[in-house]
Chain A
């Protein structure tokens, strides 16, 4: 069975401070990991995925297979980063790529 754990339900940081949203996973095969974001009153949208190895809006995430983690980081948080962040896992193979989501972390960036 696959599982995604986000230990922090709420996280508050001040503007300009570094932020790290934690994500750990368990999966017997090779997973693909994602971070999705939901801004207030908007739909869920992809922020980044591990295979792209890119930085989006200043956020990065590195897949650590040894620690089974995919933490999301940003060196200098901005107020517009306040949102709900979901870590998600998908099998790499298969005809339907269902996502298993973590429980989400509500990030608030304070002025």
Chain B
């Protein structure tokens, strides 16, 4: 299937731990994104990479570090997890250019205990 995939789908962990969420797209897109959806279902951009280069870095704690080993992958590493990090994290990709649609992954539900 051609799509955006994320692993894991669910992640439950203790405060203070370090965890990673992986994202892969096989659509040949140049641009990838991470979004956070909070408990009120509000979606907010966190990061964007274009051809492995960081383009957007919104006001996100530096405990969050994106890593793009190649343009098909954009992983999210989170250090020293806090209760407030509990959310659903969505990866997305787009081909870039005017009017390009963003394709979303299924989301990763992170619960910090």
Contact = CB atoms under 8 A, between A and B. Distances in A.
B56 interface: yes
A96 B105 contact: no
B45 to A, nearest CB: 5
Contact-residue bracket for chain B: 20 to 34
Contacts, number: 62
Interface residues of A, number: 23
A45 B55 contact: no
B107 A43 contact: yes
B45 A99 contact: yes
A16 B62 CA distance: 49
> Main secondary structure on chain A at its contact with chain B?
loop
B42 A103 contact: yes
Given A95-B96, A96-B48, A43 B42 contact: no
10 contacts: A32-B98, A42-B106, A96-B33, A96-B49, A97-B31, A97-B100, A98-B48, A99-B33, A101-B35, A103-B40
